[in-house]
Amino acid sequence: MGKQETWTTDEFGASHEGAVGVLLADGTAPGPIAYPMTSSGAVQLVSQWSAYNGRFSFTPRAQALRAVCSCGWTGAEHKLDWDEIGEQDLAEGGDKAAEACLLDWDKHTNDVEKSTVPLPETVTDLLGQLAEEIEKLTKTSPLAALRAVRRLEVTATEVGYWAAHDARRDADPEQAAVALGLDEAAALELLARLGRWSPYA
pLDDT category of residue 201 using cuts at 50, 70 and 90: low
Which pLDDT tens digit goes with each residue over 30-88?
A: 999 998 877 667 889 999 999 999 998 889 999 999 999 999 999 999 999 999 999 99
CA–CA dist 8, 150 (Å, integer): 25
CA–CA dist 90, 166 (Å, integer): 51
Residue extents of the structural domains in the chain = 13-115, 121-195
Give the pTM.
Answer: 0.91
Which pLDDT tens digit goes with each residue over 123-139?
A: 999 999 999 999 999 99
pLDDT, position 155: 97
Report angle CA 51, 53, 54 to the nearest 5 degrees: 125
Its sign, for the CA torsion 115, 29, 22, 47, is: positive
Is pLDDT at 199 greater than 90 in this prediction?
Answer: no
CA–CA dist 60, 32 (Å, integer): 10
